Structure 1
Amino acid sequence: MLRFVVLTVLAALVVAERPEPRYLEEAVEERVVGGEIASPNAWPWQISLQYQSGSMYYHTCGGTLIKPGWVMTAAHCVDSSRTWRVVLGEHDLNANSGREQIKGVSRVYIHPNWNSNNVASGYDIALLRLSSDVVLNSYVKLGLLPPSGQVLPNNNPCYITGWGRTSTGGSLSAQLKQAYLPVVDYSTCSRSDWWGSTVKNTMVCAGGGSLSGCNGDSGGPLNCQVNGQYVVHGVTSFVSSLGCNTQKKPTVFTRVSAYLDHGIG
């Protein structure tokens, strides 16, 4: 059900106020701040995006499996020229459970309006075409996408998931973590004492206190409870340069429903 703006992506085929936003990818070994270790494969659409360095691969970002051959992640995770791979069914980055599937990335589609020099402009979203389709099972499932244009209300329950740092400047979590991050609505998040004009209505804010995203979480899903199901409403984008869990600077996500098209999928 690839309802992302494939129209725009296929066409591509043929500042911000102080404190500055900071992206959450990590170059080498860099977890969700606060929260707890998730049950293994509790978020079966979560993937680990890894890049090759020498003969090794290293986790740098998260992502969401949205079709058997497609992953959604953040544009800033993949706007450099690297050899990428995606690990699905993963829980512990340092251990092989036998549930993992590893796929190469055959093509990267970055939103054509993405500008790495202007965080506040948005468009921090990308699609990865996998080298072959994954096998869907109990440990590898598709993330559910929201209806086009849907905006969740303030305090809607959501969870961020990822292998990012456990604290600002902390170390990487080998095991997938989850943290409860309720939605902060746009009217609140865009207030001058919050994120101000840095945040656009094509973004989702969530959290803003002791729990937050941090380095290594970029590109991963914001999993929100809607009608008894978890729906991927956000792609993890940035936090404040003052720290991952700064008050009134909630984690900011690309709002997935702003980039979906009714006519596809």
Structure 2
Amino acid sequence: MKGKNSLLTALFVTALGMAQVQAAEPSVEPRIIGGSTVNHSTVPYQVALVSSGRQFCGGTLISPQWVLTAAHCVERSSAGSVQIRIGASDLRTSQGETHQVSRIYVHENWTGSLANGNDIALLRLSSNVSSAYTPAKLPTPQIKASLAAPGQSLKVSGWGRTSRNSNAGSPVLKATNLEVVTNSECTSLMNGISVSGAYICGYDRSSTSCNGDSGGPWVARSGSDYYVFGAVSWGLENCTSATAFTDVTDYVSWITQKSGITPDGGGTTPPPPPPPADECAGVGQWDPYKFYYVGDRAVVNGFLFESNYNQWGYNPYYDYWGIWSFIKTCN
């Protein structure tokens, strides 16, 4: 990807005072490097972030109304300028659904420096995605140990760079599997760039995700469930090394705080809404000698009323002049 939403890896390397590593650019097939074209039904949680009709990052659907992505994708975006597309195997078609973003939550400790971590953001949608699509669940540490331990393979997907010597993105959805490696191994694969505990790394000698996949999902499947363990964060610009993903497990508490979505032992379910407050509770009986201001409430004969004027002496139960408004019958 180009512009502000690219991974800007070269800047990241410079910030650490290290020289950018140049590598040979072998000829490759025009798809996620080493990956293959896939139908959206195989990655039903995959989301495309769109602005002005152009896809600029990826994301993961984690509930019908919430999308997980990388902070560097949306740190300078307004909610009104971003939409999400889901269900599109080919972005050139009208496949799937488009939903407007109503609010963007960028992690409060994101500084714009990939070295400091916290490269995570949430998008709240203005309308729910249909049940045709399957949100990925949030993992617990136990699930991470079971499904995303070093040596296990997880699927990364998106509309990434088509080849190492091209900045063009692919209009078709692609995916590949990357093996989980330890952070010390990842540091070595990144030519000595230190990889902090805020990240989880994936690597395969024949493929790696590239810039166009920013914010996109790194997911393991267990039965009919999908678990998101990473959001694509950064990698070396030449796309020949490992890929660093924001470690979702480390940010579950933050995700829950913002969205209400919890792992709940593996089931990603928002908490039930609180019961409606009893509007009659604490409201006194109407007092003919009390002065009532606009908005004050009173109960008469088991009915709740609200004053429309500053007044006194007008019994709400016998009000024929619109001085009071009936609110509800009290239980």
Measured against the shorter chain, the TM-score band is 0.7 to 0.9
DSSP-derived class of the 2:212 partner: coil
Could you say which residue in structure 1 is the equivalent of 2:88?
90
Instruction: Please state if 1:161 is matched with 2:153.
Output: no
Q: Letter of the aligned partner of 2:244 in structure 1?
A: V
Change in CA separation of 1:195 and 1:106 when aligned onto 2, cut-off 3 Å? farther
Alignment of 1:1-265 (within 5 A): 15-16=15-16, 18-19=18-19, 32-52=32-52, 57-82=53-78, 83-97=81-95, 100-116=96-112, 118-137=113-132, 140-148=133-141, 150=144, 152-170=148-166, 171-191=168-188, 194=190, 196=192, 198-225=194-221, 229-241=225-237, 243-244=238-239, 246=240, 249-261=241-253, 265=262
For 1:172 and 1:256, how far apart are their aligned partners in 2? Answer: 25
Structure 2: gaps of 5 or more residues: 1-14, 22-30, 263-331
For 1:128 and 1:160, how far apart are their aligned partners in 2? Answer: 20
Change in CA separation of 1:19 and 1:209 when aligned onto 2, cut-off 3 Å? farther
User: Between Structure 1 and Structure 2, whose CA radius of gyration is higher?
Assistant: 2
For 1:214 and 1:201, how far apart are their aligned partners in 2? Answer: 21
Could you say which residue in structure 1 is the equivalent of 2:299?
none
Could you say which residue in structure 2 is the equivalent of 1:3?
none
Could you state the TM-score of these two structures normalised by the residue count of structure 2? 0.64
- Determine if contact 1:45/1:142 at 8 Å carries over to the other structure: yes
- Determine if contact 1:75/1:123 at 8 Å carries over to the other structure: yes
Could you say which residue in structure 2 is the equivalent of 1:9?
none
DSSP-derived class of the 2:41 partner: coil
Structure 1: gaps of 5 or more residues: 1-14, 22-30
DSSP-derived class of the 1:41 partner: helix
Q: 1:185 Cα shift?
A: 1.3
Q: 1:196 Cα shift?
A: 3.8
Change in CA separation of 1:183 and 1:195 when aligned onto 2, cut-off 3 Å? farther
- Determine if contact 1:34/1:166 at 8 Å carries over to the other structure: no
- Determine if contact 2:209/2:243 at 8 Å carries over to the other structure: yes
Q: Which has the higher helix share?
A: 2
Cα RMSD for the two superposed structures: 2.3
